[in-house]
């Protein structure tokens, strides 16, 4: 069989394929590539090319494109072509600079950095000062007139090259360095002088020889080739793989390698380095904002060893450089049409731009900058809508920590369960919280710290400024309740040991007692030592209003709130909720004055006793419903019949056992003992192994129909009373946790019967609906059946996620961190709707329900209702509304508007990251 080579085929076909261009040069005012070539050049390489083409002073260099990395992955080496093109580019660079790599009196030194299409901060490797060897280090010492700087740069190169390229453990170098500091009796790295650093270099070389069985390469070209390949290899290191899994980045993309002439900001007082923003990233104010240090390297600015100087000072010290920097960064902002975050270095009076990218900013700044840029004609109103991440709108609704004034010591990081900031003194029980919080003019700020919260803590949660728990996830009691209250909560901070009995919390070897101050950041999950100041919330900020008025006309999804009490309903309306999508009536039972009646109802031996207790609860529920209906003033209010397992209303079995044992030993004749024994018996009867799958939801109303009856009566009596006052009411009664049509029929029959009874008694009728929650896979599967009875659906995606995955909502935190770390799950499915599985059930349930009842109104009321990606999904599958806690209403409104606007404008998720 004849074999044909590629070259022969091309000749036969009469055409010559272009050889692959692996290496793209940038420098001297022009670049081979441009900003659009992120696939080939990576984000960094594309940015360097774009800045070079724009005529900005960028240290010159070249980018070896991602195809070379893919080649390296396939064959374990790059082709000869890559090597040849790299040498050509290096020769070009040497010519442009008038220097030789690692040779001569003024040696060229370069950095070698990774740069993938999507930013993967810190995941891959970098080598700086490449080109230094025993000769060039002396030349650098002489030319810079700073031997210490030269030797320090050299020892850094050996260290970086050793660990990255030769894979020598970092600790081997650290041991040498630490020993030298000890020997010289200095604390900081900067305390070692040139001579000491020369000694370190000699010992580092021995480390290389010992571990790598070879000498540190003195040939700069060899250094470069080995470093390039090491960066390609670093694409496959565990950190990078892990990061890609979490962020859904394709493993086959590969990284580019950027080789760039080094510039130094530490060559004396005409050199320096700094970072800045074109507008203030905290407030959005249009001002030049940043910091710099004279005679310093980049890491000195961020490490906190020296205090950087405000960038405006640069105007006095180097006015020409300052003006050039202003002019360049203004140009960059116009070019990228967004706030820029830039890095620069001044080497002996000459300015170099090292990086520019769209800057991260607070929610307040994001809104303000978006408005400004529309005013300035840089972007359109439609583009502006996408410049704010919906989650960032929290910033307007909750206080924030002011981190400028105090040093921040983070004790632990838990789940950002409910956003905002809270600063207060620690308490360990709800009663303690009430006592310490005080009232009237003598109010104190307290943080309730618990292993986890239970419904019995509600009075303490109510008065606390913030809640911290060491266990529990994003849908734990603490998380759900605080989000409803708009109160800051950090949940599941596993590093913190809470001992409620000893009234102490231990973390990082420190012990905290009641009265000690801590600060919580519920937006990031940080627990901070001490008393930070806070900045006020701005829910009615006029700029926010203006921004929302641009976004809102696009929105198709309705946005309702999950609110249980009149106060939350009023709050929700203020944030723009168009009704209540979930009123959890059991939350109304948890109030301190109601719990005894609920307990009597549960303890009742027969229906008569139970009805007597329910009668006491009826007026309380009715008055709450009246408040909620009034607050919603004509908007629909979805009220769910009682859901939680009954034992949740009773004391803990273990506590009762202890109490009984103590009384038996000390006061065996006490009448309390008898009562406690009977309580324990009932608690044991109600005890369930799997309460989440147990006696709850509609099962409760089916086994004790009088509960549903009482609730329906409270709802309709309230509705009629409010309607008689001329306020429009639209009650929607919702039956939870159904799996079958028969359950739905059973419960809705009770509701309809009671409605008619009340209308007859009160001689007034109101329109109402009876619907179901779809929170079990079976319900989604037989949704066409259930829709024969149900007049609306609301997906309870908390339970639906629980039952679809088979993960317990309350215990998932034991598993989830590992699942996320291993990339088995990309996101917490209780926070971000799992589109593939749970989402499929939501889509299917909606379609099947509407087959039976084409105008079926469908919403979602799990925690996902306020999470932007889940809201987008709900829009895409044609739900009517989402419902979320009041403090997420704004976020849901913007997310829904963005989802609809991107349909219309064909914008591809253009949010500012």
* Residues making contact with Mg ion (CB under 5 A): 775, 796, 799
Tokens read off for 165? 């390229």
| 497-499: strand order across its sheet | 497-499, 504-507, 510-512
Backbone angles phi, psi at 260, to 5 degrees: -140, 140
The residue (of 58 and 861) whose beta carbon lies closer to ligand PEP is 861
* Footprint on residues 403-442 left by ligand PEP (CB under 6 A): none
Among 796, 845, 849, 886, binds ligand PEP (CB under 6 A): 796
The residue (of 258 and 475) whose beta carbon lies closer to ligand PEP is 475
The residue (of 365 and 583) whose beta carbon lies closer to ligand PEP is 583
SS3 label, residue 19? coil
Helix (H) or strand (E) holding 352: strand 350-358
Identify which range of 65-73, 552-560, 656-664, 795-803 contacts ligand PEP by CB under 6 A.
795-803
Angle, helix 80-97 to helix 220-234, in steps of 10 degrees: 120
Shortest gap between Cβ of 797 and ligand PEP (angstroms)?
Answer: 5
* Footprint on residues 845-864 left by ligand PEP (CB under 6 A): 861-862
Identify which range of 18-26, 43-51, 446-454, 796-804 contacts ligand PEP by CB under 6 A.
796-804
Q: Which residues lie closer than 8 Å to 70 by C-beta, 6 or more apart?
A: 252, 254
Shortest gap between Cβ of 693 and ligand PEP (angstroms)?
Answer: 12
Angle, helix 671-686 to helix 595-603, in steps of 10 degrees: 70
Identify which range of 84-92, 204-212, 256-264, 791-799 contacts ligand PEP by CB under 6 A.
791-799
The residue (of 384 and 739) whose beta carbon lies closer to ligand PEP is 739
Identify which range of 290-298, 401-409, 623-631, 792-800 contacts ligand PEP by CB under 6 A.
792-800
CA dihedral sign of residues 808, 809, 810, 811: positive
The half-sphere exposure of 796 on its side-chain side, counting CA atoms within 13 A, is 26
Shortest gap between Cβ of 775 and ligand PEP (angstroms)?
Answer: 5
**CA separation for the pair 325, 443 (Å, rounded):** 50
Among 229, 799, 828, 872, binds ligand PEP (CB under 6 A): 799
Backbone angles phi, psi at 152, to 5 degrees: -65, -40
Q: Name the binder of 862 from Mg ion, ligand PEP, none, CB < 5-8 A by kind.
A: ligand PEP
Shortest gap between Cβ of 698 and Mg ion (angstroms)?
Answer: 11
* Footprint on residues 275-304 left by ligand PEP (CB under 6 A): none
Which residue is listed with tokens 């009596």?
Answer: 717
Is the Cβ–Cβ distance between 770 and 735 less than 8 Å? yes
Shortest gap between Cβ of 775 and Mg ion (angstroms)?
Answer: 5
The residue (of 796 and 849) whose beta carbon lies closer to Mg ion is 796
The residue (of 412 and 892) whose beta carbon lies closer to ligand PEP is 892
Shortest gap between Cβ of 455 and Mg ion (angstroms)?
Answer: 15
* Footprint on residues 859-888 left by ligand PEP (CB under 6 A): 861-862
Q: Annotate 848-873 with b (16+ C-beta within 10 A) or e (fewer).
A: bbbeebeebbbbbbbbbbbbbbbbbb
Is the Cβ–Cβ distance between 831 and 415 less than 8 Å? no
**CA separation for the pair 381, 390 (Å, rounded):** 16
Is the Cβ–Cβ distance between 225 and 85 less than 8 Å? no
Shortest gap between Cβ of 62 and ligand PEP (angstroms)?
Answer: 54
Shortest gap between Cβ of 447 and ligand PEP (angstroms)?
Answer: 25
Backbone angles phi, psi at 178, to 5 degrees: -65, -40
The residue (of 44 and 477) whose beta carbon lies closer to ligand PEP is 477
Note whether 775 binds ligand PEP by CB under 6 A: yes
The residue (of 153 and 475) whose beta carbon lies closer to ligand PEP is 475
The residue (of 363 and 736) whose beta carbon lies closer to ligand PEP is 736
Note whether 568 binds ligand PEP by CB under 6 A: no
Tokens read off for 786? 């259930």
Is the Cβ–Cβ distance between 716 and 759 less than 8 Å? yes
Is the Cβ–Cβ distance between 103 and 220 less than 8 Å? yes
Identify which range of 237-245, 495-503, 790-798, 887-895 contacts ligand PEP by CB under 6 A.
790-798
CA neighbor of 256 nearest in space, from 90, 101, 124: 124
Shortest gap between Cβ of 640 and Mg ion (angstroms)?
Answer: 8
Other residues' Cβ atoms within 10 Å of the Cβ of residue 661: 10
Shortest gap between Cβ of 798 and Mg ion (angstroms)?
Answer: 5
Tokens read off for 888? 């997420």
CA neighbor of 88 nearest in space, from 263, 221, 217, 219: 221
Among 798, 813, 891, 898, binds ligand PEP (CB under 6 A): 798
Backbone angles phi, psi at 231, to 5 degrees: -65, -40
Note whether 584 binds ligand PEP by CB under 6 A: yes
Quick note: the x/- pattern for ligand PEP over 619-658, rule CB under 6 A, is ------------------------x---------------
Cα first-last separation, the chain: 57
Shortest gap between Cβ of 534 and ligand PEP (angstroms)?
Answer: 30
**CA separation for the pair 754, 744 (Å, rounded):** 16
The residue (of 164 and 474) whose beta carbon lies closer to ligand PEP is 474
Alpha helix positions (H), 235-362: 238-247, 298-303, 314-317, 319-336
Overall residue count recorded for the chain in this entry? 913
**CA separation for the pair 877, 906 (Å, rounded):** 17
> Which residues are tagged catalytic?
477, 861
Quick note: the x/- pattern for ligand PEP over 505-524, rule CB under 6 A, is --------------------
Q: Name the binder of 584 from ligand PEP, Mg ion, none, CB < 5-8 A by kind.
A: ligand PEP
The residue (of 571 and 794) whose beta carbon lies closer to Mg ion is 794
Which residue is listed with tokens 């009615």?
Answer: 540
**CA separation for the pair 414, 679 (Å, rounded):** 36
Note whether 797 binds ligand PEP by CB under 6 A: yes
Note whether 892 binds ligand PEP by CB under 6 A: no
Size of the site for ligand PEP (CB under 6 A): 10
Q: Name the binder of 582 from ligand PEP, Mg ion, none, CB < 5-8 A by kind.
A: ligand PEP
* Footprint on residues 705-734 left by ligand PEP (CB under 6 A): none
Which residue is listed with tokens 């946790």?
Answer: 737
CA angle 110, 116, 120 (to 5 degrees): 100
Q: Cα–chain-centroid distance for residue 552?
A: 24
Name the site residues for ligand PEP (rule: CB under 6 A).
582, 584, 643, 775, 796-799, 861-862
């Amino acid at each position: 069989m004849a074999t044909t080579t590629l070259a022969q085929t091309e000749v036969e076909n009469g055409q010559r394929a272009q050889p692959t261009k692996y290496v793209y040069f940038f420098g001297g005012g022009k670049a081979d590539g441009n900003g659009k070539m992120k696939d080939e050049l990576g984000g960094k390489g594309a940015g360097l090319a774009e800045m070079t083409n724009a005529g900005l002073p960028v240290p010159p260099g070249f980018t070896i494109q991602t195809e070379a990395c893919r080649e390296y992955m396939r064959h374990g080496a790059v082709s000869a072509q890559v090597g040849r093109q790299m040498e050509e580019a290096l020769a070009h660079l040497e010519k442009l600079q008038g220097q030789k790599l690692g040779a001569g009196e003024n040696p060229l030194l370069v950095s070698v950095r990774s740069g993938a299409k999507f930013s993967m901060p810190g995941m891959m490797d970098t080598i700086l000062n490449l080109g230094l060897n025993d000769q060039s280090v002396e030349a650098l010492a002489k030319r810079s007139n700073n031997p210490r700087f030269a030797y320090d740069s050299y020892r850094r190169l050996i260290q970086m090259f050793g660990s990255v390229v030769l894979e020598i453990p970092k600790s081997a170098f650290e041991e040498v360095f630490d020993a030298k500091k000890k020997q010289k009796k200095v604390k900081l790295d900067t305390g070692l002088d040139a001579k000491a650093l020369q000694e370190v270099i000699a010992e580092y070389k021995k480390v290389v020889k010992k571990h790598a069985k070879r000498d540190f390469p003195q040939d700069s070209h060899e250094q470069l080739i080995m470093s390039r390949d090491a960066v390609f290899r670093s694409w496959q290191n565990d950190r990078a793989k892990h990061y890609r899994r979490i962020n859904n980045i394709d493993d086959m993309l590969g990284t580019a390698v950027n080789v760039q002439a080094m510039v130094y900001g530490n060559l004396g007082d005409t050199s320096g380095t700094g970072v800045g923003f074109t507008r203030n990233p905290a407030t959005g104010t249009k001002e030049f904002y940043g910091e710099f240090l004279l005679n310093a390297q980049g890491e000195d600015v961020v490490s906190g060893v020296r205090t950087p100087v405000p960038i405006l000072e640069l105007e006095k010290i180097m006015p020409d450089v300052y003006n050039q920097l202003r002019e360049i960064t203004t140009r960059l902002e116009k070019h990228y049409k967004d706030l820029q975050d830039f890095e620069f270095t001044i080497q002996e009076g000459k300015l170099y731009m090292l990086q520019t990218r769209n800057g991260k900013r607070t929610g307040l700044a994001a809104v303000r900058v978006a408005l400004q840029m529309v005013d300035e004609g840089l972007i359109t109103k439609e583009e502006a809508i996408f410049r704010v991440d919906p989650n960032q709108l929290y910033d307007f609704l909750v206080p924030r920590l002011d981190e400028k004034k105090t040093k921040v010591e983070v004790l632990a990081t838990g789940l950002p369960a409910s956003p905002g900031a809270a600063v207060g003194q620690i308490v360990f029980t709800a009663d303690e919280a009430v006592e310490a919080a005080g009232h009237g003019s003598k109010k104190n700020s307290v943080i309730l710290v618990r292993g986890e919260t239970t419904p019995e803590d509600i009075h303490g949660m109510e008065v606390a400024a913030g809640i911290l728990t060491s266990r529990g996830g994003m849908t734990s009691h603490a998380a759900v309740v605080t989000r409803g209250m708009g109160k800051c909560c950090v949940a599941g901070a596993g590093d913190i040991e809470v001992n409620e009995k000893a009234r102490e919390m231990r973390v990082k070897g420190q012990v905290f007692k009641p009265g000690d101050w801590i600060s919580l950041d519920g937006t990031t999950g940080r627990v901070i030592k001490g008393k930070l100041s806070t900045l006020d919330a701005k829910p009615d900020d006029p700029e926010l209003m203006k921004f929302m008025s641009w976004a809102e006309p696009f929105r198709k999804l309705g946005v309702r709130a999950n609110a249980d009490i009149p106060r939350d309903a009023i709050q929700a309306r203020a944030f723009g909720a168009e009704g209540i999508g979930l009123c959890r009536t059991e939350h109304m039972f948890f109030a301190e004055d109601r719990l005894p009646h609920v307990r009597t109802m549960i303890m009742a031996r027969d229906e008569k006793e139970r009805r007597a207790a329910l009668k006491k609860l009826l007026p309380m529920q009715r008055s709450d419903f009246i408040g909620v209906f009034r607050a919603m003033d004509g908007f629909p209010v979805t009220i769910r019949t009682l859901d939680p397992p009954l034992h949740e209303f009773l004391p803990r079995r273990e506590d009762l056992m202890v109490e009984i044992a103590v009384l038996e030993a000390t006061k065996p004749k006490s009448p309390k003992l008898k009562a406690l024994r009977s309580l324990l018996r009932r608690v044991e009867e109600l005890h369930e192994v799997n309460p989440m799958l147990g006696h709850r939801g509609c099962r409760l109303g089916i086994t004790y129909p009088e509960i549903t009856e009482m609730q329906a009566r409270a709802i309709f009596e309230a509705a009629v009373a409010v309607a008689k006052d001329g306020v429009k009411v639209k009650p929607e009664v919702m039956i939870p946790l159904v799996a079958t049509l028969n359950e739905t029929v059973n419960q809705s029959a009770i509701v309809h019967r009671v409605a008619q009874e009340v209308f007859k008694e009160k001689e007034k009728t109101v329109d109402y609906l009876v619907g179901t929650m779809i929170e079990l896979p079976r319900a989604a599967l037989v949704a066409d059946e259930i829709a024969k009875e149900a007049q609306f659906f609301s997906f309870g995606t908390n339970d639906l996620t629980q039952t679809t995955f088979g993960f317990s909502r309350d215990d998932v935190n034991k598993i989830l961190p590992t699942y996320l770390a291993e990339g088995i799950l990309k996101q917490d499915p209780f926070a971000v709707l799992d589109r593939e599985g749970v989402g499929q059930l939501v889509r299917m349930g909606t379609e099947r329900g509407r087959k039976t009842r084409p105008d079926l109104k469908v919403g979602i009321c799990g925690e996902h209702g306020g999470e932007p990606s889940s809201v987008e999904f709900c829009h895409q599958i044609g739900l009517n509304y989402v419902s979320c806690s009041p403090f997420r209403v704004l976020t849901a409104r913007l997310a829904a508007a963005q989802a609809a606007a991107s349909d219309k404008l064909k914008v591809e998720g253009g949010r500012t990251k």
